């Protein structure tokens, strides 16, 4: 019996991180809905930012699932997107006064979920599963 690493097995931790990222993002939208329903004034910028984060989490999860099925193109895309998302979260969280503290905490949590995913996606052992020209 050989011990061969397949994309579906290798990307399992990344898929879990991305699914958690999507769940956190969805929970944030639920919080915004409850706040709005109870009369709190939720700024449009918060709605837009949180909606975009949820949409990006879903898209990344779909791309990662395609990569787990062996798509090299999807693997390259998710590697790039994961690094960009980590950088974007750092910038967004660092802008003073842009978002309330509780939203910044949620955004930072999303970034903390993306960081290990980006690291895992850029490991040489994982990149070897998607050789150029294959």
Tell me the angle at which helices 44-68 and 101-121 cross, rounded to the nearest 10 degrees.
Answer: 20
Band (134; pLDDT cuts 50, 70, 90): low
How does pLDDT run across 31-45, given as a tens digit for each residue? 999 999 999 999 998
Predicted TM-score (pTM) of this structure: 0.91
Coil, strand or helix at 133: coil
Residue 5 has what pLDDT? 85
User: How many C-beta neighbours within 10 Å does residue 75 have?
Assistant: 22
Mean pLDDT of the 81-106 span: 92
pLDDT digits (tens, 9 = 90+) for 50-63: 999 999 999 999 99
Asked if the model's pLDDT at residue 1 lies above 50, the reply is no
What's the confidence (pLDDT) of residue 47?
Answer: 94
- In tens, the pLDDT along 64-81 reads 999 999 999 999 999 999
Q: Cβ–Cβ contacts within 10 Å for residue 55, how many?
A: 12
Long-range contacts of 54-57 (CB under 8 A, 24+ apart): 54/22, 54/25, 54/26, 54/28, 54/29, 56/81, 56/85, 57/18, 57/21, 57/22, 57/25, 57/110
- What's the CA gap between 36 and 29, in Å, rounded? 10
pLDDT band for position 98 (cuts 50, 70, 90): confident
């Amino acid at each position: 019996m050989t011990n061969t690493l397949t994309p579906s097995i290798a990307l399992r931790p990344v898929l879990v991180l991305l699914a958690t990222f999507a769940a956190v993002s969805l929970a944030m939208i639920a919080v915004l809905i409850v706040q709005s329903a109870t009369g709190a004034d939720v700024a449009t910028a918060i709605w837009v930012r949180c909606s975009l984060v949820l949409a990006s989490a879903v898209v990344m999860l779909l791309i990662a699932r395609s990569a787990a099925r062996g798509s090299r193109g999807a693997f390259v895309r998710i590697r790039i997107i994961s690094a960009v998302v980590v950088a974007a979260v750092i910038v967004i969280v660092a802008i003073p006064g842009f978002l309330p503290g509780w939203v910044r905490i949620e955004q930072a949590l999303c970034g903390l979920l993306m960081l290990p995913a980006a690291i895992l996606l850029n490991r040489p052992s994982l990149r070897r599963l998607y050789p150029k020209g294959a």
